[in-house]
Amino acid sequence: MTTTSRLRALTRHHLFWPVAVLIGLLLVNVPFTPDFFSVKMTDGHLYGSLVSIVLFGSPLILVAVGMTLVIATGGIDLSVGAVVAITGALTCSYISDQADQSALSAVFLAMGIGLVAAVVCGLWNGFLVARMGIQPIIATLIIMVAGRGVAQLITDGQIITINSEPYKLIGGGYWLTLPFSIFVVAVVVAATMLLTRRTALGLLVESVGGNAEASRLVGIRSARIKIMVYVFCALCAGIAGLMISSNTSAADGNNAGLWIELDAILAVVIGGTALTGGRFSIGGTVLGALVIQTLTTTIYTIGVPTQTNLVFKAAVVIAVCLLQSPKFREKVFGRKTRRKVTVPAQPVAPVEPAPKTEVSR
């Protein structure tokens, strides 16, 4: 293999562009924040821009990982933001009702209640999509809209604040010098990879998303798989909801997880999973989520005026998507991949013995 062909193989790897963009974005920060890459140890905790990117990006990674599986089946889940809000609201309102808000048993029970609510939302989405045959975008729109109302009912339209040390750990605490949420994310991502690639779930999901009718005729119970995937996605959103409310020690039915569904969908797409379903990549999604979070951080560090930061974000997202499009790359960078082959080499398959009939030209 020559160097150029090795380079080409590298650029063709499905994670090449997400990684390249992430590195590029990180480098942009250096002129503005010279110690961007440095990580300091203070009071036994690691601090630094990189650590905060992962910390603040944790909820998005979780939601995006769940979203990846839904998108791989050819669906979409718009309700994740509302599920974040509902979970946070239920958990915090339960904790705030306790005399001792730091009692471990109460905190666990509160989290359980929140996550069960998330699972119920997922079951509802899955039921509408898989059993009722409603288009995913419409089916999940119901909870997206109604769910915020439910969250506000739970919190009585107020922002509930709590004061619970153990609960604070999930989204705001440290463990082994690192933010605890990084461990939560690592566990969820690893579990998802195991769940999809060590079992046949990943294959079946890709098959359902790649060709639904063929999957039915091959005997895959698509409905069951779709329901599972929506439940899993809602569960991920629920954990993200715990993390967000824990980080702020408050539940805000109105704003918690607002627009996170859009960032999550973007992260999935940047990570190389097509919205049409089929092949998916969890690793790509994690990178995609980090790209989005880095972008948000970058917008603050380089001091883009707040009024224009959404425009700036949109511009970068467009650039990333264009870079990932082979057509675009071909147009802009020219058809570098073309080679002139003059000497016809041997065909790959062995040629059969010469035919009896004379070959005339």
Partner 1 sequence: MAEPRPVLQMTGVVKEFPGVRALSGVDFRLFPGEIHALIGENGAGKSTLIKVLTGVHSLDGGTITLDGESVEFTSPLQAQQAGISTVYQEVNLCPNLSVAENIFIGREPTRGGRIQWKRMRKEAAELVDRLGLDIDVAAPLSSYPLAVQQLVAIVRSVGTGDRETPGSGAGQAPGSGTATKVLVLDEPTSSLDRDEVLELFRLMRQLRDDGVAILFVSHFLDQIYEICDRMTVLRNGTLVGEHLVRDLDQVGLIELMIGKALDQLEELHEHQLHSDVGETLVKAEGLGRSGKISPFDLEIKKGEVLGLAGLLGSGRTELARLLFGADHPDTGKVTIGGKQVSMSAPNDAIGAGVAFCSENRRTEGLVPDLTVRENIILALQAARGWTRPIPASQRDELVAKYIKALDIRPANPEARVGQLSGGNQQKVLLARWLITSPQLLILDEPTRGIDIGAKTEIQRLVVSLSEDGMSVLYIAAELEEVLRLSHTIGVLRDRKLVARLANGPEITTSRILETIASGEHQ
360 binds partner 1 (CB under 8 A): yes
Task: Please answer whether residues 130 and 222 qualify as being in contact, where contact means their C-beta atoms are separated by less than 8 angstroms.
Answer: yes
Cβ 274 to partner 1, closest distance in Å? 9
Q: By CB under 8 A, which span of 26-34, 159-167, 248-256, 353-361 interacts with partner 1?
A: 353-361
Cβ 52 to partner 1, closest distance in Å? 37
- Does an H or E element contain 160, and which? strand 159-161
Task: Please answer whether residues 177 and 41 qualify as being in contact, where contact means their C-beta atoms are separated by less than 8 angstroms.
Answer: yes
User: Residue 53 and residue 30: Cα distance in Å, rounded?
Assistant: 15
198 binds partner 1 (CB under 8 A): yes
Nearer to partner 1, 303 or 326 (CB): 326
Task: Please answer whether residues 197 and 187 qualify as being in contact, where contact means their C-beta atoms are separated by less than 8 angstroms.
Answer: no
334 binds partner 1 (CB under 8 A): no
Question: Which two three-digit tokens encode residue 287?
Answer: 């990178």
Looking at the DSSP bridge assignments, the partners of residue 40 are 47
Among positions 125-184, residues that touch partner 1 (CB under 8 A) are none
99 binds partner 1 (CB under 8 A): no
Q: Residues 155, 207, 249, 293: which binds partner 1 (CB under 8 A)? A: 207
Give rounded-to-5 percent helix, strand, coil for the chain: 65, 5, 30
10 binds partner 1 (CB under 8 A): no
Size of residue set near partner 1 by CB under 8 A? 45
Residue with tokens 């929506």: 230
Q: Residues 216, 311, 318, 336: which binds partner 1 (CB under 8 A)? A: 216
Question: Which two three-digit tokens encode residue 50?
Answer: 């990189």
Nearer to partner 1, 146 or 214 (CB): 214
Cβ 324 to partner 1, closest distance in Å? 17
Decide: helix, strand or coil at residue 40: strand
**C-alpha distance across the termini of the chain, in Å:** 37
What are the residues binding partner 1 (CB under 8 A)?
A: 198-201, 203-204, 206-207, 210-211, 213-221, 225, 278-279, 335, 337-342, 344-349, 351-357, 359-361
